[in-house]
């Protein structure tokens, strides 16, 4: 059981980072059914399965097969380690994105406990708890990346993660406690976070490889693998049970729009203002 689910969590990848995954995570992911493996191109939880069907298929510049080839530079004898001065435009951008994701990871550390507490099912609570522990390691890894560049670890406010986090909080207040609808919605909210991270880490890994910053590339790739595995795990949780059970809740629970009503009212007022502004011109 343990063996099959570990391979399920790491479908299509055999990177060193994956084999270094903590045993706790392997245990926690135990019991996840493998029946959906590679059977569908899209996940009900909002993201693609990293199944066998995807082997070798590129995902932007984060193709796992490309990555595992390129990031094992040390194994393949590419020993030249580039230097990082932080002077070129690309180096400055790389550093800027590192600061962005460093800020984002810390914001996620604040959000995950709230999402864990709000979740209905133990399965989703466990997934959030596991990812909280992973996220703590992501922060530490980023600090090591800054260190390899000879730079101080510091964050730069990331508006994207602020917005995604606000959306997750809205979901908690808009859904009924104890419902599966809440879990289905929380999974999508969490996957929006994962996809943001995947995009950022995927791009950073490739930039690090281009600049021959192999130590940084390896560290960033380890985190990227964990983000992708988390995304796949959330998809499975959604597909295996939660979405279906949420559907069966029907209209038993009402979707509480009150929490974000302020924003909606605000939007309405704006529209009214627009109408007022336009009216003199149309008179
Ligand atoms: Fe992370
Ligand atoms: Fe994450």
pLDDT tens-digit readout, 116-170: 999 999 999 999 999 999 999 999 999 999 999 999 999 999 999 999 999 999 9
Q: Tell me, in angstroms, the distance from the centre of ligand 2 to residue 139's CA.
A: 11
**What pLDDT is attached to residue 113?**
98
Ligand 2 is an ion; residues with CB less than 5 A from it: 197, 227
Any idea which ligand is nearest the CA of 228?
2
For residue 126, what are its two tokens?
Answer: 């466990």
Q: Is the residue at 215 inside a domain?
A: yes
What is the count of structural domains for the chain? 1
- pTM for the full predicted model: 0.69
Which residues lie below 8 Å from residue 10, measured CB to CB, with a gap of 6+?
Answer: 18, 21, 225, 229
How many other β-carbons are positioned within 10 Å of the β-carbon of residue 66?
16
Q: What whole-number distance in Å separates Cα of residue 239 and Cα of residue 236?
A: 5
pLDDT tens-digit readout, 95-124: 999 999 999 999 999 999 999 999 999 999
Any idea which ligand is nearest the CA of 193?
2
pLDDT over 70 at 62, yes or no: no
Of the pLDDT bands very low, low, confident and very high (cuts 50, 70, 90), residue 252 is low
Which residues lie below 8 Å from residue 59, measured CB to CB, with a gap of 6+?
Answer: 48, 202
Q: Tell me, in angstroms, the distance from the centre of ligand 1 to residue 192's CA.
A: 12
| Nearest Cα residue to 200 out of 49, 43, 60 | 60
Q: What whole-number distance in Å separates Cα of residue 200 and Cα of residue 218?
A: 15
For residue 207, what are its two tokens?
Answer: 């930039």
Domain range spanning residue 176?
89-246
CATH value at residue 165 = 1.20.1260.10
Of the pLDDT bands very low, low, confident and very high (cuts 50, 70, 90), residue 261 is very low
Of the pLDDT bands very low, low, confident and very high (cuts 50, 70, 90), residue 241 is confident
Q: Is the residue at 64 inside a domain?
A: no
Q: Is the residue at 209 inside a domain?
A: yes
For residue 95, what are its two tokens?
Answer: 């550093």
**What pLDDT is attached to residue 85?**
83
Q: Is the residue at 3 inside a domain?
A: no
Q: What whole-number distance in Å separates Cα of residue 89 and Cα of residue 16?
A: 31
**What pLDDT is attached to residue 1?**
32
Q: Is the residue at 153 inside a domain?
A: yes
Q: Is the residue at 30 inside a domain?
A: no
Q: Is the residue at 60 inside a domain?
A: no
Ligand 1 is an ion; residues with CB less than 5 A from it: 135, 138, 197
């Amino acid at each position: 059981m343990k063996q099959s689910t570990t391979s399920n969590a790491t479908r299509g990848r055999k990177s060193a980072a994956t084999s270094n995954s903590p045993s706790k995570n392997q245990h926690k992911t135990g019991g996840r059914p493998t029946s959906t493996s590679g059977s569908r191109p899209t996940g009900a939880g909002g993201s693609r399965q990293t199944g066998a069907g995807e082997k070798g298929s590129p995902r932007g510049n984060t193709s796992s097969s490309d990555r595992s080839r390129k990031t094992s530079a040390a194994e393949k004898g590419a020993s030249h380690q580039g230097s990082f001065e932080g002077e070129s435009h690309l180096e400055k951008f790389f550093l800027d994105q590192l600061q962005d994701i460093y800020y984002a990871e810390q914001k996620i550390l604040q959000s995950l406990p709230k999402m864990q507490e709000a979740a209905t099912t133990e399965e989703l609570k466990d997934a959030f708890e596991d990812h909280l522990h992973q996220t703590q390691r992501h922060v530490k890894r980023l600090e090591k990346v800054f260190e390899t560049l000879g730079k101080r670890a510091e964050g730069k406010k990331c508006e994207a993660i602020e917005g995604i986090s606000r959306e997750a909080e809205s979901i908690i207040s808009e859904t009924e406690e104890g419902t599966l609808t809440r879990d289905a919605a929380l999974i999508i909210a969490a996957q929006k976070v994962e996809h943001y991270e995947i995009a950022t880490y995927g791009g950073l890994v490739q930039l690090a490889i281009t600049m021959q910053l192999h130590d940084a590339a390896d560290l960033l790739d380890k985190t990227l693998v964990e983000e992708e595995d988390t995304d796949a795990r959330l998809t499975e949780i959604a597909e295996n049970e939660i979405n279906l059970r949420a559907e069966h809740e029907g209209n038993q629970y009402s979707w509480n729009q009150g929490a974000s009503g302020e924003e909606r009212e605000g939007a309405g007022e704006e529209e009214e203002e627009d109408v007022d502004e336009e009216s003199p011109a149309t008179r």
